Amino acid sequence: MKKKLFLLLLLLTIHCPINTTLAEQTESIPFLISSEQKQIDGSIFLTKIYEVAEDFDPSKLIENGYKKEGYLFAYHKTDKKVNENKQTKQLSESIAIETATDNKQGILNRLPQTIDYSKEDFTGVLSLDNNSIDTKPAAYKTQNTTVSTVKEYTELMAADNSYIPQTAEKEGQTLQLTNVNWAVMGTGLAGDTLVPTEYKATATYSKTISNKVPSSYVTTAIYTGTVSKPEPTTITYTLTYVGTPIKENSTIMEKAEKQAEEEFKKQNEQEIETKEIKEIKQNDTVFIKMLFGALLGILFSSGMVLLFHKKSQRGVKICNLQEEEYICIGYQKMGKEDFVIDLNPLYELIQSSCFYFVTDKYTAKQLYGKTISITLHDETKEQMIMPNSVSEYGQPYCFMLEIGGKEHEK
Protein backbone atom coordinates (compact mmCIF):
# COMPACT_ATOMS: atom_id res chain seq x y z
CA MET A 1 0.00 0.00 0.00
CA LYS A 2 2.79 2.43 0.93
CA LYS A 3 4.53 1.75 -2.38
CA LYS A 4 1.37 2.69 -4.24
CA LEU A 5 1.02 5.90 -2.21
CA PHE A 6 4.56 6.95 -3.03
CA LEU A 7 3.97 6.19 -6.69
CA LEU A 8 0.96 8.51 -6.58
CA LEU A 9 3.14 11.24 -5.04
CA LEU A 10 5.71 10.65 -7.75
CA LEU A 11 3.00 11.13 -10.40
CA LEU A 12 2.07 14.42 -8.72
CA THR A 13 5.65 15.71 -8.92
CA ILE A 14 5.90 14.67 -12.57
CA HIS A 15 2.61 16.36 -13.46
CA CYS A 16 3.45 19.81 -12.08
CA PRO A 17 6.55 20.75 -14.12
CA ILE A 18 4.86 19.73 -17.38
CA ASN A 19 2.11 22.31 -16.86
CA THR A 20 4.30 25.11 -15.47
CA THR A 21 6.99 24.91 -18.17
CA LEU A 22 4.77 24.32 -21.20
CA ALA A 23 5.49 27.76 -22.69
CA GLU A 24 9.25 27.32 -22.15
CA GLN A 25 9.20 23.91 -23.86
CA THR A 26 7.28 25.36 -26.82
CA GLU A 27 9.91 28.05 -27.41
CA SER A 28 12.72 25.48 -27.52
CA ILE A 29 10.98 23.00 -29.83
CA PRO A 30 12.36 23.05 -33.40
CA PHE A 31 9.88 23.21 -36.26
CA LEU A 32 9.71 19.98 -38.27
CA ILE A 33 9.18 20.90 -41.94
CA SER A 34 8.98 17.39 -43.39
CA SER A 35 9.81 13.74 -42.78
CA GLU A 36 10.35 11.42 -45.75
CA GLN A 37 11.38 7.78 -46.06
CA LYS A 38 12.74 6.49 -49.36
CA GLN A 39 14.86 3.75 -50.86
CA ILE A 40 18.13 4.57 -52.65
CA ASP A 41 20.28 1.86 -54.26
CA GLY A 42 18.65 -0.81 -52.12
CA SER A 43 19.12 1.07 -48.81
CA ILE A 44 16.37 2.69 -46.74
CA PHE A 45 16.93 6.33 -45.78
CA LEU A 46 14.84 8.65 -43.63
CA THR A 47 15.28 12.41 -43.97
CA LYS A 48 13.87 14.90 -41.46
CA ILE A 49 14.04 18.62 -42.19
CA TYR A 50 13.89 21.17 -39.35
CA GLU A 51 13.91 24.96 -39.28
CA VAL A 52 15.47 26.37 -36.11
CA ALA A 53 16.89 29.60 -34.70
CA GLU A 54 20.43 30.58 -35.63
CA ASP A 55 21.84 29.76 -32.18
CA PHE A 56 20.08 26.37 -31.86
CA ASP A 57 22.33 23.38 -31.13
CA PRO A 58 21.76 20.90 -34.02
CA SER A 59 22.96 17.97 -31.91
CA LYS A 60 19.63 18.18 -30.04
CA LEU A 61 17.84 17.14 -33.24
CA ILE A 62 19.62 13.80 -33.54
CA GLU A 63 17.44 10.76 -32.76
CA ASN A 64 18.68 7.19 -32.60
CA GLY A 65 17.27 3.77 -32.05
CA TYR A 66 13.65 4.16 -33.10
CA LYS A 67 11.54 1.89 -35.24
CA LYS A 68 9.33 2.62 -38.21
CA GLU A 69 7.65 0.34 -40.72
CA GLY A 70 9.86 -2.65 -39.91
CA TYR A 71 13.18 -0.75 -39.82
CA LEU A 72 15.51 0.42 -37.07
CA PHE A 73 17.02 3.82 -37.96
CA ALA A 74 20.45 5.14 -36.99
CA TYR A 75 21.81 8.67 -37.48
CA HIS A 76 23.95 9.16 -40.61
CA LYS A 77 24.62 12.88 -41.29
CA THR A 78 23.35 16.48 -40.96
CA ASP A 79 23.24 19.04 -43.79
CA LYS A 80 22.99 22.75 -43.00
CA LYS A 81 21.43 25.64 -44.95
CA VAL A 82 21.45 29.26 -43.78
CA ASN A 83 18.22 31.18 -44.50
CA GLU A 84 18.70 34.94 -44.85
CA ASN A 85 15.14 35.94 -44.07
CA LYS A 86 13.70 39.32 -44.95
CA GLN A 87 10.34 41.08 -45.13
CA THR A 88 9.48 42.88 -48.38
CA LYS A 89 6.77 45.32 -49.45
CA GLN A 90 5.82 47.52 -52.41
CA LEU A 91 5.65 51.28 -51.80
CA SER A 92 5.65 54.70 -53.48
CA GLU A 93 7.57 57.82 -52.52
CA SER A 94 6.83 61.34 -53.83
CA ILE A 95 9.46 64.08 -54.29
CA ALA A 96 9.19 67.73 -55.46
CA ILE A 97 11.68 70.02 -57.23
CA GLU A 98 11.47 73.72 -58.24
CA THR A 99 12.34 74.81 -61.79
CA ALA A 100 12.35 78.10 -63.70
CA THR A 101 10.68 76.55 -66.73
CA ASP A 102 8.03 73.97 -67.49
CA ASN A 103 10.05 72.42 -70.27
CA LYS A 104 9.52 68.67 -69.88
CA GLN A 105 12.92 67.65 -71.19
CA GLY A 106 14.65 70.08 -68.88
CA ILE A 107 12.68 68.76 -65.94
CA LEU A 108 13.52 65.15 -66.84
CA ASN A 109 17.21 66.06 -66.89
CA ARG A 110 16.92 67.32 -63.32
CA LEU A 111 14.96 64.33 -61.95
CA PRO A 112 17.08 61.32 -60.91
CA GLN A 113 15.99 58.01 -62.44
CA THR A 114 16.30 56.23 -59.06
CA ILE A 115 16.39 57.21 -55.38
CA ASP A 116 17.52 55.30 -52.29
CA TYR A 117 14.89 54.48 -49.65
CA SER A 118 15.69 53.94 -45.95
CA LYS A 119 12.91 54.22 -43.36
CA GLU A 120 11.78 52.07 -40.42
CA ASP A 121 14.52 49.48 -41.12
CA PHE A 122 13.27 49.07 -44.71
CA THR A 123 15.82 49.77 -47.46
CA GLY A 124 15.74 49.60 -51.25
CA VAL A 125 15.94 51.51 -54.54
CA LEU A 126 12.86 53.20 -56.05
CA SER A 127 12.50 54.01 -59.78
CA LEU A 128 10.91 57.08 -61.40
CA ASP A 129 7.41 56.65 -62.81
CA ASN A 130 7.49 58.95 -65.89
CA ASN A 131 3.69 59.03 -66.10
CA SER A 132 3.48 60.53 -62.61
CA ILE A 133 5.42 63.75 -63.43
CA ASP A 134 3.22 66.82 -62.78
CA THR A 135 4.41 70.44 -63.24
CA LYS A 136 2.49 73.46 -61.94
CA PRO A 137 3.31 77.19 -61.53
CA ALA A 138 4.70 78.03 -58.09
CA ALA A 139 4.97 81.84 -58.32
CA TYR A 140 4.01 84.67 -60.73
CA LYS A 141 5.52 87.99 -61.91
CA THR A 142 4.18 91.00 -63.86
CA GLN A 143 5.38 91.22 -67.47
CA ASN A 144 4.79 94.25 -69.77
CA THR A 145 4.45 93.68 -73.52
CA THR A 146 3.84 96.21 -76.32
CA VAL A 147 1.37 95.50 -79.08
CA SER A 148 1.87 97.69 -82.18
CA THR A 149 0.84 97.98 -85.82
CA VAL A 150 1.70 100.29 -88.75
CA LYS A 151 -0.84 101.57 -91.25
CA GLU A 152 -0.38 103.73 -94.39
CA TYR A 153 -2.79 106.37 -95.61
CA THR A 154 -2.42 107.84 -99.17
CA GLU A 155 -3.90 110.56 -101.37
CA LEU A 156 -4.04 112.94 -98.45
CA MET A 157 -4.21 116.63 -99.45
CA ALA A 158 -2.41 117.93 -96.38
CA ALA A 159 0.05 116.71 -93.73
CA ASP A 160 -2.52 117.05 -91.03
CA ASN A 161 -2.93 114.47 -88.26
CA SER A 162 -6.61 115.11 -88.22
CA TYR A 163 -6.84 113.12 -91.46
CA ILE A 164 -5.41 110.06 -89.60
CA PRO A 165 -7.62 107.70 -87.47
CA GLN A 166 -6.60 107.98 -83.80
CA THR A 167 -7.02 104.27 -83.01
CA ALA A 168 -6.48 100.88 -84.68
CA GLU A 169 -7.46 97.27 -83.82
CA LYS A 170 -5.06 94.33 -83.51
CA GLU A 171 -5.47 90.94 -81.80
CA GLY A 172 -8.58 92.19 -80.08
CA GLN A 173 -6.77 95.19 -78.61
CA THR A 174 -7.51 98.87 -79.36
CA LEU A 175 -4.20 100.64 -80.09
CA GLN A 176 -3.62 104.38 -79.82
CA LEU A 177 -1.89 106.53 -82.45
CA THR A 178 1.64 107.19 -81.25
CA ASN A 179 3.54 108.46 -84.32
CA VAL A 180 2.94 109.68 -87.92
CA ASN A 181 5.52 110.02 -90.69
CA TRP A 182 4.54 112.14 -93.73
CA ALA A 183 5.79 111.79 -97.26
CA VAL A 184 5.05 114.03 -100.33
CA MET A 185 3.62 111.96 -103.10
CA GLY A 186 2.79 114.76 -105.61
CA THR A 187 3.45 118.47 -106.34
CA GLY A 188 1.94 121.31 -108.37
CA LEU A 189 2.50 125.02 -109.29
CA ALA A 190 0.82 127.65 -107.29
CA GLY A 191 1.76 130.69 -109.32
CA ASP A 192 5.49 130.45 -109.74
CA THR A 193 5.92 128.20 -106.67
CA LEU A 194 6.04 124.40 -106.67
CA VAL A 195 3.95 123.14 -103.76
CA PRO A 196 2.94 119.62 -102.46
CA THR A 197 -0.41 118.51 -103.73
CA GLU A 198 -0.57 114.89 -102.34
CA TYR A 199 0.72 113.26 -99.13
CA LYS A 200 1.19 109.71 -97.71
CA ALA A 201 1.01 109.16 -93.96
CA THR A 202 2.67 106.21 -92.18
CA ALA A 203 0.95 105.91 -88.82
CA THR A 204 2.17 103.83 -85.89
CA TYR A 205 -0.32 102.56 -83.30
CA SER A 206 0.73 100.88 -80.02
CA LYS A 207 -0.42 99.78 -76.57
CA THR A 208 1.41 98.48 -73.48
CA ILE A 209 -0.22 95.36 -71.88
CA SER A 210 0.65 94.05 -68.37
CA ASN A 211 0.28 90.28 -67.76
CA LYS A 212 1.04 87.96 -64.85
CA VAL A 213 3.27 85.10 -66.00
CA PRO A 214 4.81 82.19 -64.02
CA SER A 215 8.22 82.99 -62.58
CA SER A 216 8.89 79.48 -61.24
CA TYR A 217 7.39 75.98 -61.33
CA VAL A 218 7.08 73.04 -58.92
CA THR A 219 7.31 69.52 -60.31
CA THR A 220 6.19 66.46 -58.32
CA ALA A 221 7.19 62.93 -59.30
CA ILE A 222 6.45 59.49 -57.82
CA TYR A 223 9.06 56.77 -57.38
CA THR A 224 7.97 53.14 -56.86
CA GLY A 225 9.71 49.89 -56.03
CA THR A 226 10.23 47.00 -53.61
CA VAL A 227 11.94 47.55 -50.26
CA SER A 228 12.92 45.03 -47.61
CA LYS A 229 14.15 44.71 -44.05
CA PRO A 230 16.13 41.84 -42.53
CA GLU A 231 14.53 39.40 -40.10
CA PRO A 232 16.18 36.90 -37.74
CA THR A 233 18.26 34.37 -39.63
CA THR A 234 17.08 30.77 -39.40
CA ILE A 235 18.88 27.53 -40.15
CA THR A 236 17.45 24.57 -42.05
CA TYR A 237 18.95 21.25 -40.96
CA THR A 238 18.39 18.10 -42.98
CA LEU A 239 19.08 15.00 -40.89
CA THR A 240 19.57 11.69 -42.68
CA TYR A 241 19.09 8.30 -41.02
CA VAL A 242 19.92 4.85 -42.36
CA GLY A 243 17.48 2.03 -41.71
CA THR A 244 18.15 -1.65 -41.26
CA PRO A 245 15.52 -4.41 -40.99
CA ILE A 246 14.45 -4.97 -37.40
CA LYS A 247 14.95 -8.76 -37.73
CA GLU A 248 18.71 -8.28 -37.65
CA ASN A 249 18.59 -6.18 -34.51
CA SER A 250 15.50 -7.39 -32.65
CA THR A 251 17.34 -9.67 -30.21
CA ILE A 252 19.89 -7.01 -29.23
CA MET A 253 17.23 -4.34 -28.90
CA GLU A 254 14.93 -6.54 -26.84
CA LYS A 255 17.76 -7.39 -24.42
CA ALA A 256 18.79 -3.74 -24.12
CA GLU A 257 15.22 -2.56 -23.55
CA LYS A 258 14.56 -5.31 -21.01
CA GLN A 259 17.78 -4.58 -19.14
CA ALA A 260 17.06 -0.84 -19.04
CA GLU A 261 13.53 -1.49 -17.83
CA GLU A 262 14.73 -3.82 -15.05
CA GLU A 263 17.40 -1.35 -13.90
CA PHE A 264 14.87 1.49 -13.82
CA LYS A 265 12.39 -0.65 -11.87
CA LYS A 266 15.07 -1.81 -9.42
CA GLN A 267 16.28 1.75 -8.85
CA ASN A 268 12.74 2.97 -8.10
CA GLU A 269 12.13 0.12 -5.65
CA GLN A 270 15.38 0.88 -3.78
CA GLU A 271 14.53 4.56 -3.52
CA ILE A 272 11.03 3.79 -2.23
CA GLU A 273 12.32 1.29 0.36
CA THR A 274 14.96 3.74 1.57
CA LYS A 275 12.34 6.46 2.07
CA GLU A 276 10.06 4.06 3.90
CA ILE A 277 12.84 3.05 6.32
CA LYS A 278 13.71 6.65 7.09
CA GLU A 279 10.08 7.58 7.70
CA ILE A 280 9.54 4.59 10.01
CA LYS A 281 12.60 5.53 12.11
CA GLN A 282 11.46 9.15 12.38
CA ASN A 283 7.88 8.26 13.35
CA ASP A 284 8.59 6.21 16.51
CA THR A 285 5.96 7.90 18.69
CA VAL A 286 2.27 7.11 18.67
CA PHE A 287 1.30 10.73 18.11
CA ILE A 288 3.57 11.15 15.11
CA LYS A 289 2.37 7.84 13.71
CA MET A 290 -1.24 8.97 14.01
CA LEU A 291 -0.40 12.31 12.41
CA PHE A 292 1.55 10.61 9.68
CA GLY A 293 -1.35 8.16 9.15
CA ALA A 294 -3.77 11.07 8.76
CA LEU A 295 -1.37 12.72 6.32
CA LEU A 296 -1.09 9.53 4.33
CA GLY A 297 -4.88 9.34 4.23
CA ILE A 298 -5.08 12.84 2.81
CA LEU A 299 -2.33 12.08 0.30
CA PHE A 300 -4.03 8.85 -0.62
CA SER A 301 -7.32 10.64 -1.26
CA SER A 302 -5.55 13.36 -3.24
CA GLY A 303 -3.58 10.76 -5.14
CA MET A 304 -6.72 8.81 -6.03
CA VAL A 305 -8.43 12.01 -7.21
CA LEU A 306 -5.33 12.88 -9.20
CA LEU A 307 -5.15 9.35 -10.61
CA PHE A 308 -8.76 9.42 -11.76
CA HIS A 309 -8.22 12.95 -13.12
CA LYS A 310 -5.12 11.82 -15.02
CA LYS A 311 -6.98 8.81 -16.37
CA SER A 312 -9.78 11.09 -17.55
CA GLN A 313 -7.21 13.21 -19.33
CA ARG A 314 -5.36 10.37 -20.97
CA GLY A 315 -5.00 10.94 -24.66
CA VAL A 316 -3.93 14.18 -26.31
CA LYS A 317 -3.94 17.58 -24.62
CA ILE A 318 -4.62 20.23 -27.32
CA CYS A 319 -3.18 23.74 -26.83
CA ASN A 320 -3.64 26.75 -29.12
CA LEU A 321 -1.40 29.84 -29.36
CA GLN A 322 -3.43 32.77 -28.02
CA GLU A 323 -1.83 36.15 -27.23
CA GLU A 324 1.73 34.72 -27.27
CA GLU A 325 0.81 31.85 -24.90
CA TYR A 326 -0.33 28.28 -25.54
CA ILE A 327 -3.72 27.75 -23.89
CA CYS A 328 -5.30 24.31 -23.39
CA ILE A 329 -8.56 24.19 -25.33
CA GLY A 330 -9.44 20.52 -24.87
CA TYR A 331 -8.52 16.82 -24.67
CA GLN A 332 -9.07 14.00 -27.12
CA LYS A 333 -8.91 10.26 -26.58
CA MET A 334 -6.62 8.25 -28.82
CA GLY A 335 -7.63 4.68 -29.51
CA LYS A 336 -5.35 1.81 -30.46
CA GLU A 337 -6.61 1.81 -34.04
CA ASP A 338 -7.84 5.39 -34.54
CA PHE A 339 -4.76 7.62 -34.91
CA VAL A 340 -6.61 10.85 -35.77
CA ILE A 341 -6.83 14.18 -33.90
CA ASP A 342 -9.94 16.03 -35.06
CA LEU A 343 -9.74 19.76 -34.25
CA ASN A 344 -13.10 20.64 -35.81
CA PRO A 345 -15.15 20.18 -32.58
CA LEU A 346 -12.88 22.85 -31.00
CA TYR A 347 -13.41 25.30 -33.88
CA GLU A 348 -14.98 28.04 -31.73
CA LEU A 349 -12.04 28.00 -29.29
CA ILE A 350 -9.30 28.24 -31.93
CA GLN A 351 -7.69 31.67 -32.34
CA SER A 352 -4.56 30.92 -34.39
CA SER A 353 -3.04 28.30 -36.69
CA CYS A 354 -0.31 27.32 -34.17
CA PHE A 355 -1.00 24.25 -31.99
CA TYR A 356 0.91 22.39 -29.28
CA PHE A 357 -0.01 18.78 -28.51
CA VAL A 358 0.91 16.81 -25.37
CA THR A 359 0.19 13.09 -25.06
CA ASP A 360 0.45 11.40 -21.68
CA LYS A 361 3.12 8.74 -21.40
CA TYR A 362 0.62 5.87 -21.60
CA THR A 363 -0.85 7.13 -24.87
CA ALA A 364 2.62 8.07 -26.18
CA LYS A 365 3.89 4.56 -25.49
CA GLN A 366 1.22 2.97 -27.69
CA LEU A 367 1.78 5.57 -30.42
CA TYR A 368 5.59 5.40 -30.69
CA GLY A 369 6.64 4.51 -34.24
CA LYS A 370 3.19 5.33 -35.63
CA THR A 371 1.94 8.25 -37.71
CA ILE A 372 -1.11 10.19 -36.57
CA SER A 373 -3.26 12.55 -38.64
CA ILE A 374 -4.40 16.02 -37.51
CA THR A 375 -7.43 17.48 -39.32
CA LEU A 376 -8.98 20.96 -39.35
CA HIS A 377 -11.67 21.84 -41.93
CA ASP A 378 -10.48 20.27 -45.21
CA GLU A 379 -6.78 20.26 -44.27
CA THR A 380 -4.94 17.21 -42.92
CA LYS A 381 -1.34 16.97 -41.68
CA GLU A 382 0.60 13.96 -40.40
CA GLN A 383 2.97 13.63 -37.44
CA MET A 384 5.23 10.64 -36.73
CA ILE A 385 5.47 9.83 -33.01
CA MET A 386 8.94 8.84 -31.89
CA PRO A 387 11.31 9.72 -29.01
CA ASN A 388 13.41 12.83 -29.54
CA SER A 389 15.43 15.39 -27.59
CA VAL A 390 12.25 16.96 -26.19
CA SER A 391 10.19 13.86 -25.40
CA GLU A 392 12.10 10.81 -24.23
CA TYR A 393 10.80 7.25 -24.40
CA GLY A 394 8.43 6.49 -21.54
CA GLN A 395 7.58 10.16 -20.92
CA PRO A 396 4.78 12.47 -22.10
CA TYR A 397 5.26 13.24 -25.81
CA CYS A 398 5.05 16.86 -27.03
CA PHE A 399 5.01 18.25 -30.54
CA MET A 400 4.06 21.50 -32.26
CA LEU A 401 2.13 21.86 -35.54
CA GLU A 402 0.80 24.67 -37.71
CA ILE A 403 -2.50 23.98 -39.44
CA GLY A 404 -5.52 26.01 -40.51
CA GLY A 405 -4.02 28.71 -42.73
CA LYS A 406 -5.61 32.10 -41.88
CA GLU A 407 -6.07 33.15 -38.29
CA HIS A 408 -9.46 32.02 -36.95
CA GLU A 409 -12.17 34.69 -37.01
CA LYS A 410 -15.17 34.40 -34.72
Q: With helix as H, strand as E and coil as C, how does 215-276 read?
A: EEEEEEEEEEEEEEEECCCEEEEEEEEEEEEHHHCHHHHHHHHHHHHHHHHHHHHHHHHHHH
Work out the pLDDT band at 23, boundaries 50, 70, 90: very low
- C-alpha angle 329/333/337, rounded to 5°? 140
CA 91 – CA 85 distance, rounded (Å): 20
Is the confidence at residue 225, as pLDDT, over 90?
yes
- Confidence bin at 389 (pLDDT 50/70/90): very low
**Bigger pLDDT: 324 vs 350:** 350
* Arithmetic mean of pLDDT, 60-75: 81
What is the pLDDT at residue 289? Answer: 64
How many C-beta atoms lie closer than 10 Å to residue 334's C-beta?
A: 22
pLDDT digits (tens, 9 = 90+) for 71-88: 888 888 899 999 888 889
68 against 181, higher pLDDT: 181
- Burial (CB count within 10 angstroms: exposed 0-12, middle 13-18, buried 19+), residue 349: middle
55 three-state secondary structure: coil
Residue 116's pLDDT band (cuts 50, 70, 90):
very high
Calpha distance 202→55 (Å, rounded)? 99
